[in-house]
A and B are shown apart, each in its own frame.
Chain A
Amino acid sequence: MILAVLFANAEGNILIERFHGVPAEERLHWRSFLVKLGADNLKGTRNEELLVACHKSVYIVYTVLGDVSIYVVGKDEYDELALSEVIFVITSAVKDVCGKTPSERVFLDKYGRICLCLDEIVWKGHLENTEKDRIKRLIRLKPPTEF
């Protein structure tokens, strides 16, 4: 289960969040935990360099992409490596949509499309589509494989 996907800006404000199977009262803890984790560790990391953390049996993989930091939290089959796959798909989709490494402004410009991408990538707590082309087609309401 991918428990959470979270985008935050450099100040630690949350831009997008998607929780799956996390009770509402725990979300707050996760938000602050993740943001703090990023504040502590993300300074000076290269774009798309993956960082890892774990908390009990829950794994966290996070990275920074331009002005935006991305956190993915998962457990069970979504361990650090599976989450790295997920975050890889997400970053490449975001880069695709934004056309470059996103500044916060560009990110917010493309907010809707990014949401749609995310929707195609993570569907109810599971990784769904991984291929760029497929995602691109799907967010334009086209079938996943072209005729």
Chain B
Amino acid sequence: MLNQQCEDRSVLRYVYYYLARILSDTGAQGLSTGGGIPTPNWDALADIDAVGGVTRADVVPRIVEQLTVAAKNSEFEFHARRLQSLKALTSAPSTNSEILSRLYEVVFGILEKVGDNPQKRKKGIFGAKGGDRDSIMRSNLQYGALSALRRLPLDPGNSAFLHYAVNGISFVDPVAVRQALEIVSELATRDPYSVAMALGKHVETGGALHDVLHLHDVLARVSLARLCCTISRARALDERPDIRSQFNSVLYQLLLDPSERVCFEAILCVLGKYDNNERTEERASGWYRLTREILKLPDASSKESSKDKSQKTKRPQPLIKLVLRRLESSFRSFSRPVLHAAARVVQEMGKSRAAAFSVGLQDVDEGAHVNTFAEAADFNDSDENAHPESIRRTASVSNANAGRDTIAGLLASLMEVVRTTVACECVYVRAMVIKALIWMQSPIDSFDELESIIASELSDPAWPAALLNDVLLTLHARFKASPDMAVTLLQIARIFATKVPGKVDADVLQLLWKTCLVGAGPDGKHKALEAVTIVLDLPPPQPGSMLGITSVDRVFASDPKSALALQKLVQAAVWFLGENANYAASEYAWESATPPGTALMMLDADKMVAAASSRNPTLAGALTRLQRCALGGSWEIRITAAQALTTMAIRSGEPFRLQIYEFLHTLAQGGLQTQFSDMHLSNGEDQGASGTGLGVLLSPMINVLDEMYRAQDDLIKEIRIHDNAKKEWTDDELKKLYETHERLLDLVSLFCYVPRAKYLPLGPTSAKLIDIYRSRHNISASTGLSDPAVATGISDLLYESKPAPAKLDTLDDDLVNAWAANLGDDGLWGNNAPAMNRVNEFLAGDGIDAPEVDEENMISRPSVSYDDMWAKTLLESSELEEDDARSMGSSSPDSTGSVETSISSHFGGMSYPSLFSSRPSATDKAASRGSGPSIYEGLGSPIREEPPPYSSPVTQRYGSFENPLAGNGSQSFESQDDERVSSGNPQFGSALYDFTAGGDDELSLTAGEEVEIEYEVDGWFYVKKKRPGRDGKMAGLVPVLYVNQS
């Protein structure tokens, strides 16, 4: 058809349209395999119409051929078709290099003919109306060629490319000019120097770039702004300040642009936001520029434009004033896009301002500061009364104050307008406004207003959840920009949690809490503590919000979903508190400030509480809140609170531990406290025979503490006996002591992470004796890989498949250094923070990642492993517990993250491979050797004393159920029974330590025993002994780490 002389241009135009669609189709066609698209695929029509049964592969080369010929045809009659052909050709996907090279050829060919015509330029600009046929044809071709060039991939090294693009700026056709500017501004981001050189004379007054200022094409001016910004900030042009200032002045003139789009773009450029990389220095100097620099208009432009603004602005204008006034007027617009954009600009302004605050403005060039500032100050003095109030920053120059106050005043009036914009009916605009307000909020201002705005906003049900979480993330970003706002931001976050629990993502919230806590930590103690006090005041534990919950109960009754969500949030907060309170309060049992020996002195409960709160109010406060939650929350919250309390009990020194111990006892037995407390009535649940219904859950926790205290008592008794008899400790006694120590460590590690090398379950007095035993037997304090808590604690907690030792070293170094240096509290903070960060990363990571994983796994895991673990140690029937545990899991799937970590970081550790089932455990043996076995040691060790049969195999079996993708790495034990055939090529090894079988499949080992390793599975070796052991067994599973492979 293209070849036929078709008279109907419209029909022909359709032909070109379809050809273009055919050429462009590939991408979509190739990608849409399997993706069902319900709406009619209009694109497909193109194929049917034009091709009719022939495949694309057949036609495309022919089409390209035809179009290329047409695009090269320079006959006059063919002119329009030539343009369309060129256009159609560009529709081809840019991956097709053949078509691309043809296109480049065609485009450059055209540009060569029509591009370089400097003498025509002036004529074009001033006489676009008239003109002869040739020049019009030329300009059309220029347009076509440049538009095509714009669609082609950039070719930064190619000087011809740049040359044509730069020439394009002076073309007649406005669209061509825009395309040229877009190309040039993109090129400038890659190679500012050569672009600036090529632009040489265009930027001079009266040059082409200045013509663009008056071009009636918004996007052209936007590109101009970007171009100027890129070049004026380019490092490559540091030698040529003249060029940079020329571009800068063009940029500043764009601030006066009548179009909001251009003006805002220029503002953003001035602010230092011109690409997506956020650089604090850029932003800070952007704010500096905005506040200090002034716009001097060149004579040319003020005479040209007759707008009221520029008549006034013959005098130099400070940028800040221009910008803020412009923004203010934009906020009066009725157009939502304008409002949205203006709010966004204010937000960016806030970002730059925050950056300037955080940098501190010392980096800024002091000379320029004074010079420009003197003028600005003069100006301000002349027409503005100085605002004496609120000096925002520490002043470095005396006369700067006046100007700064002006800025403050201007900002205040702008923010007033911004606030009123919250009334806009569009939630997206409101969200942007709130973000802007959050960013403009400075650490020193009171945030009451913001708080009330947000609080009232959130009551509006129109807010979509995604938008709210977006705002929460803004808080997060805001915190990163200025950590001292942690307190404020956490308070804002709390509003979200209490007002719209159903829409807020608990993970986002936890992320915010965590970063605020950890991020503020190392910087300084006071900041951390400040943040901490807020964390502790977070929704659930805080009396105010507890009241809030009960008082809004009626509202929530109509909305059970959000009631449930609130509960989840509360739970998350309780868990968070349990995990992080020790960090926040910098109270650790292993770094206790209490001198050894005083530990058990304070047995009187009242005195204990008093002493505790006087010593560490933060922790005492957290404790009280958790206790309240353990008594009064819903079922899930109470569980979490009990777990959190246990964690704290284990991690804290005396008297906190004792206090919690006592409390847990009371809780388990359903003592007087619950009867006095009427809070539990509110949730309407059956409290169970044990009073709180937590007895089943609590007993293992109490058991651990019991064991610890019993062992401590025994130790003290022993010490006394030895002292009285003036006897030295024999090796056997020491060994027994050491074993108890290790066993307790294992037990404790089931509940939460503790640094094994430092933790002393037997109390500080045991330290010396254990050291003696260790040094006698060459057991290093950080027993490397055989240290299950450390191995799992680090390698698994971080889920890194890196070999554990590397991690170990860093952690232990940190802790040991901190210990050895014996610094005061402050020192310990700093040194300890990285290690704790790691733990917190894990903990938070756990909380954050967990819900995204298949929920069924999450539900089954903790309950099962938990229950198996303690099946034998519990007094109650296991059936009851099973129910409890299950109800715990299923009624709140999201809680499992917390359940999991606080009950069993070990089980958690074991299960993590299944969280990451993409990680093929079969190929990951090296990693699992590092981490896997130690997990089982954690499991196995407590079992040595009171062995619950089946526990390990069962848990492992569950692990493999949960991880069906893992391949042979996690075969279930049943299948192994069948397949337990030696895989040939046996390896040998010797037992490093004693190991007591925890189940039927396992094999007891005595240290030094020679074994033959049959195969490895999931961190276990299946080994054969040379001769049967005491139990008569020859073969079975042992943890990998217990065996030294020879």
Contact = CB atoms under 8 A, between A and B. Distances in A.
A105 to B, nearest CB: 18
B341 interface: yes
Given A61-B337, A80-B341, A119-B20, A51 B31 contact: no
A82 B151 CA distance: 19
Contacts of B426: 41, 51-53
Contacts of A123: 87, 90, 147, 151
Contact of B261 (A17, A19, A85, A140): A85
A125 to B, nearest CB: 9
Interface string B210-240: 0000000111001100100000000000000
Contacts of A55: 466
A28 to B, nearest CB: 6
A142 B14 contact: no
B136 interface: yes
Given A50-B335, A129-B175, A82 B140 contact: no
B844 to A, nearest CB: 23
B28 A141 contact: no
Interface in A37-95: 41, 50-57, 59, 61, 77, 79-85
Contact of A130 (B90, B217, B340): B217
B218 A52 contact: no
A51 B35 contact: no
B466 A143 contact: no
Interface stretch (B78-86, B641-649, B941-949): B78-86
A31 B226 CA distance: 32
A144 B276 CA distance: 36
Contacts of B217: 130
A81 B337 contact: yes
B173 interface: yes
Contact of B151 (A79, A119, A124, A129): A124
B137 A50 contact: no
A53 B173 CA distance: 34
Interface stretch (B5-13, B52-60, B696-704): B5-13
A41 B264 CA distance: 27
B219 A127 contact: yes
A99 interface: no
Interface string B321-336: 0000000000000011
B14 A143 contact: no
Contact residue range for chain B?
Answer: 35 or more
A139 B91 CA distance: 17
A140 to B, nearest CB: 5
A141 B85 CA distance: 11
Interface in B231-287: 259-261, 264, 276
Contact of B83 (A13, A19, A61, A144): A144
B535 interface: no
A141 B143 CA distance: 15
Given A140-B13, A141-B80, A79 B341 contact: yes
Contact of A51 (B10, B143, B218, B336): B336
A129 to B, nearest CB: 6
A82 B222 contact: yes
B432 interface: yes
Given A124-B91, A147-B136, A81 B14 contact: no
Contact of B432 (A54, A83, A85, A124): A54
A16 interface: yes
Nearest to B90: A124
A28 B91 CA distance: 23
A65 B91 CA distance: 29
Given A116-B13, A145-B173, A50 B219 contact: no
A35 to B, nearest CB: 10
A27 to B, nearest CB: 7
Contact of B337 (A83, A142, A147): A83
B331 to A, nearest CB: 14
Contacts of A16: 42
A13 B39 CA distance: 8
B100 to A, nearest CB: 13
B568 interface: no
B107 interface: no
Contacts of A51: 336, 426
A14 interface: yes
Interface string A3-46: 00000000001101101000111011001000000000100000
B429 interface: yes
A16 to B, nearest CB: 7
Nearest to A55: B466
A141 B10 CA distance: 6
A75 to B, nearest CB: 10
A77 B220 CA distance: 11
Given A24-B35, A129-B175, A116 B17 contact: yes
B133 interface: yes
B288 interface: no
A25 B34 CA distance: 9
Interface string B4-32: 00000110111011001000000010011
A80 B340 contact: yes
A141 B16 contact: yes
B261 A82 contact: yes
Nearest to B470: A56
Interface in A118-142: 119, 123-124, 126-130, 134, 139-142
Contacts of A81: 259-261, 264, 337-338, 341
B344 interface: yes
B552 interface: no
B83 A143 contact: yes
A50 B218 contact: no
Q: Which residue of A80, A127, A129 has the most chain B CB atoms within 10 A of its CB atom?
A: A80
Contacts of B950: none
A84 B340 CA distance: 12
B337 A139 contact: no
Contact of B222 (A54, A77, A84): A77
B963 interface: no
Contacts of A77: 219, 222-223, 226
B173 A52 contact: no
A147 B138 CA distance: 11
Nearest to A41: B426
Given A17-B39, A141-B80, A128 B428 contact: no
Contacts of B173: 144-145
Nearest to A145: B136
A24 B12 CA distance: 30
B219 A82 contact: yes
B37 interface: yes
Contact of A84 (B42, B91, B137, B337): B337
Contacts of A115: 17
A123 B16 CA distance: 14
A5 B848 CA distance: 36
Contacts of B832: none
A41 B31 CA distance: 32
Contacts of A112: 14
B235 to A, nearest CB: 23
16 contacts: A17-B39, A28-B37, A41-B426, A51-B336, A51-B426, A53-B426, A53-B428, A59-B340, A77-B219, A77-B222, A81-B261, A81-B337, A124-B90, A143-B140, A145-B136, A147-B137
Pick the 8 closest A-B CB pairs, nearest first: A24-B31, A81-B261, A141-B9, A80-B337, A141-B13, A24-B32, A84-B337, A52-B336
Interface of B: 9-10, 12-14, 16-17, 20, 28, 31-32, 35, 37-39, 42, 79-81, 83-84, 87, 90-91, 133, 136-137, 139-140, 143, 147, 150-151, 173, 175, 182, 217-219, 222-223, 226, 259-261, 264, 276, 335-341, 344, 426, 428-429, 432, 466, 470
Interface of A: 13-14, 16-17, 19, 23-25, 27-28, 31, 41, 50-57, 59, 61, 77, 79-85, 112, 115-116, 119, 123-124, 126-130, 134, 139-147
Given A54-B428, A85-B261, A141-B84, 4 more contacts: A50-B337, A80-B337, A141-B16, A142-B9
